[in-house]
Structure 1
């Protein structure tokens, strides 16, 4: 019988959750209508309608167990198919008694002027009973499937779908949550908006140091510092044995300027070297200091 009955095993969790949702909705409306009957002066409160009123509250633990236990891996160990069949069948019988006692309440004439509401309660109770009959049938089919394959139909796939979440799109992920979630993130500061691109023409000039590069273009100070050049306490190392401190080649700065500076203005002859017609002459200087 069960082998010939074709059912989509992967859709069992969806079908069962759907019918349990109908049970909850109908039971909640029934419970609210029962309160309206209680508050009316012409209606009597007895054990018959009191039992119907209590049934939605008594069914809450069963709904939690039947809908939530099979859907999570940690609680699936208590979702025994035999227990689920027992719970569904038990509450099918209880809801049968619930709408039956409300019907007998109406037949006894205890409903007063709110018999229409009381009859609606009977109808809602019947549908809850009917839906529990459907879920009991689904639980029996689940039990047979479990005995054949040793697993609950569809619930394993429900759990895997809940776990297959992209970590880059999680709620607390730092990745962007838009269509460009996998776009490369630029770590180069030059690509930041509003940042000035300093080039050779726009870079501000560095202050001149007394130990700057003397061979810079146009006599300009070097903008690149060096621990070798900028160390004022480092003695000059001669590049040749003839490059030593003498009276004519002193490492001390002269009065004319820096160590490698140009002579003072006026010390150079005013003769223009471009004019080849003039005789060659030495520049003006104190030649008396030359040792003879």
Structure 2
């Protein structure tokens, strides 16, 4: 079983080596280009590859790390970038090696100094290319460094190739698949049916929402107030909202038989019957409180 965490850390470490090694090669090949004579196209190509490494390494290392950029870090694209740079670095050091060896070969046939011809190698390089012997030595060093760079790109290409194969088999990048699917399903099931508010998504409420719920529960559970001690507002509120049906702005309340009608300030208003024909109460005969006499 491949440890994907170790693989991801190895990938990041190899890309970090790419960045440091690019600076080293840039310094060596740059010193070769500043020597007497015009710099070769092969040397310029390797120097340009060092600069091109910078944006590519930023993409390869940063895009998989952030949720908003993961869409750019498709396993096939990562494999493609690593493959392209493996080919380019192979072409870079091979072209510089061909140029350097060609200059040495041409110098052996053109060199007139017997001592230099006898020494061979970079001693006759100037006769073949016009550059100094030091430029030839720096080119050889750059070739060796370029070979190491190519091997590291091959390693990252292999890891990216495995990630692309894994993605094809499981439709997920191995760098994101740290847990087995069964383990994730088990955790999700436990969280859904958990009574703990910290783990149950359906029970999660904000502190302000919880305060509102507590206040509503307290008001709704308060028994109805009747008599002279109760106010109109409290009587109306309790008679309307405290009989098993929660109040809601968008839900009309039904007038059931068991619902208590409005009782007024003193609680002495007549109550209509729940069933049958509604009848008005008898008119009292005594109107003495109004200053009139009894009806005769």
TM norm structure 1: 0.49
TM norm structure 2: 0.48
User: For the pair shown, which has the larger CA radius of gyration, 1 or 2?
Assistant: 1
More helix by share: 2
